[in-house]
Structure 1
Amino acid sequence: MAFGRFLQPWSHCLWRLKISEPGCAGARYHVQRVFLTQLTSHHESKHISDGVLGRVKPLERYKWPCTVFSLPSTRAFSQGPSNNTSSKSKPPPEIKLKTRLLVTFITGGSILAAWFYLRSEREQKQQLQRVEQLKKVAIGQGGFNLVDHTGVSRTKKDFFGHWVLMYFGFTHCPDICPDELEKMSSVVGILDKDKALPQVQPIFVTVDPERDGIEAMATYVKDFHPRLIGLTGSPEQVKEAGKAYRIYYSAGPKDADNDYIVDHTVMIYLLNPDGLFLDYYNRSKTDEQIADSVKKHMQTYVKLFT
């Protein structure tokens, strides 16, 4: 008789269990044969089948169906790995927070870098187009052929390579022109304090050539900045210069003393070293505001001609 395991579930009966045939060794262990040997003098056995207590002879050998009587699935009765439980699929490993943050940072950084690169490329292209347009505008813009307060002929090319502040007025102006020239001189003085900045050349162009000759201009400019240059010329030359910079001026009626006032545009112009008009400042701008604007233009200046 094959060996099995002994247990005494209740009373004085001793049970021996044997694993059922291979076909039934699956998800659960079933009793194939139960042999009862009473420790007393009786030679009959009791067997439990489907919950009913029956009687079998001690040495009867027969096979019961696997579903007759089952034991709890426990490792105490197994001699190998149990196959009664279906393998549970392991949940997918969770991605750590640091890993997700790193992936997000790398992805976002790549997108941001690509955006900055495309933006830089677009800005460079626009800058090149702007430079080409400015070159076309700068050539011949604001050209003039005048004479300075020392009698030397001056053209626009003479001031290439210099930052220029230019004002159109006349020496007999009672208040506005002196005030604007004083303000322009103050701007130049403010900029001169910053040694890292290039010098600015102030220029005063008359719109009253009949009265503002070389001598009159020489006397007048002495009252302002020492670098101030006064320009005059014939009525035709002054007219061409005013037209180039879109300056309006018109002489008023003469009084008994043959004196008159010239109505004109009140504006200070800024020219870069290429001779290109960059900005203008009306009477509402202070000297500090104009100086700050000129500094910004100097910082963003791109040379057009080599």
Structure 2
Amino acid sequence: MNRRAMLDQAPRRSFRRPIFLTLASALAFALSACSGSGPAERPPLEGASIGGDFTLIGKDGKPVRYADFAGKYRVVYFGYTFCPDVCPLDVQHLMQGYHAFARTSPELAAKVVPMFITVDPARDTPENVGKFAANFGPELIGLTGTPQQIAAVAKSFAVYYQKREGSSPDAYLMDHSRAAYLMGPDGKPLALLPAEKDGPAVAADLAKWVH
């Protein structure tokens, strides 16, 4: 081969290697993305100052402490039994999602404790919250307490509630924030469950965060 032929071929060889490396790098990136080997998604409420130990009253009139369920995931929803629409619908979605999750992952669902905490302690006696919770399944724990106890728990969970005056002392509504907290086995917040959507959405989020 003469000198001119060697010079003609040299540039072509010099460009082939970078192109090949670029293609190989792109392929490697695509494979790593498909394999799901990237960093795991962090819980959206991780590190938030929400929650804390409390003692309230269960359906039998006996004290129930948040710490009684240490080591388990806890679903905490605030509402009231006289609520005409939003609370029953949200709790229905929560428990539909929980039961769907229990059918597909019974061992994981056994680690989850759903709780309903009233923001209307004046009317929601232990018997009332017990009957309300029983409508959605035996797994749901209904809790009430003194006005002071409820105020303290609501504050620790960043829950707003306010009585709206009605036509009589016993005929009134409660304004309150709409949130269903998923708390981890250590009692700290993980995520808000989409109770305002539907049961399948709740089940999907339980499957995402409960391990």
TM-score bucket (shorter structure): 0.7 to 0.9
2:183 to 271, 289, 306: 271
Following the alignment from structure 2 to structure 1, what is the Cα–Cα distance between the partners of residues 148 and 79? 16
Counterpart Cα distance in 2 of 1:178 and 1:103: 63
Among candidates 105, 113, 125, match of residue 20 of structure 2: 105
* Residue 177 (structure 2) pairs with residue 262 (structure 1): no
Q: Residue 119 of structure 2 corresponds to which residue in structure 1? A: 207
The Cα RMSD (Å) is 3.8
Query: With structure 2 as the length reference, what TM-score do the two structures score?
Result: 0.74
TM-superposed CA distance for 1:145, in Å, is: 2.2
Kindly provide the amino acid, as one letter, of the partner of residue 202 in structure 2.
I
User: Distance in 2 between the 1:182 and 1:206 partners?
Assistant: 16
* Offset of residue 107 of structure 1: 6.5
Post-superposition offset of 1:158 = 2.6
Of residues 88, 91, 94, the one that matches 1:181 is 91
- Give TM-score, length-normalised by structure 1: 0.53
Equivalent residue in structure 2 for 1:237, among 149, 165, 178: 149
- d(CA) in 1 for partners of 2:89, 2:3: 90
Q: How many angstroms apart in 2 are the aligned matches of 1:278 and 1:235?
A: 27
Counterpart-to-counterpart distance in 1, 2:195 and 2:73? 21
- Residue equivalent to 2:66: 156
Correspondence for 2:5 among 81, 84, 91 = 91
Tell me how far apart the structure 2 counterparts of residues 218 and 196 of structure 1 sit (CA, whole Å): 24
Tell me, in whole angstroms, the C-alpha distance in 2 between the residues paired with 1:245 and 1:211: 21
**1:54-77 CA distance string (max 9 Å, x none):** xxxxxxxxxxxxxxxxxxxxxxxx
Equivalent position amino acid for 1:250 in 2: Q
Post-superposition Cα deviations, 1:243-286, rounded to whole Å, max 9, x if no partner, equal 11111111222534733222212222222223222322566412
List per-residue Cα deviations over 1:149-208 (Å, max 9, x = no partner). 233433332333222222111122223222222121111111111126611321100111
Counterpart contact for 1:205–1:231, Cα < 8 Å: yes
Q: Paired residue for 2:35?
A: none
Structure 1: tracts of 5 or more residues without a match: 1-87, 118-122, 300-306
Identical positions, percent: 29
Greater gyration radius: 1
Does residue 147 (structure 1) correspond to residue 61 (structure 2)? The answer is no
CA contact (8 A) 1:266 1:282 kept: no
Distance change (3 Å), C-alpha of 1:155 and 1:288: same
User: Aligned partners of 2:194 and 2:25: how far apart in 1?
Assistant: 47
Give the match's secondary structure for 2:121.
coil
The separation in 2 between residues aligned to 1:110 and 1:263, in whole angstroms, is: 56
> Per the alignment, do residues 196 and 110 of structure 1 end up closer, same or farther by CA in structure 2, a change over 3 Å counting?
farther
Taking the aligned partners of 1:283 and 1:134, their CA distance within structure 2 comes to 19
Which of 159, 165, 170 is the matching residue for 1:253?
A: 165
Q: From the superposition, tell whether residues 107 and 194 of structure 1 become closer, same or farther in structure 2 (CA, over 3 Å).
A: same
Aligned residues: 199
Structure with greater proportional helix content: 2
Greater RCO, 1 or 2 (C-alpha within 8 Å, sep 6+) = 2
Question: How far, CA to CA, are the matches of 2:130 and 2:107 in structure 1?
Answer: 28
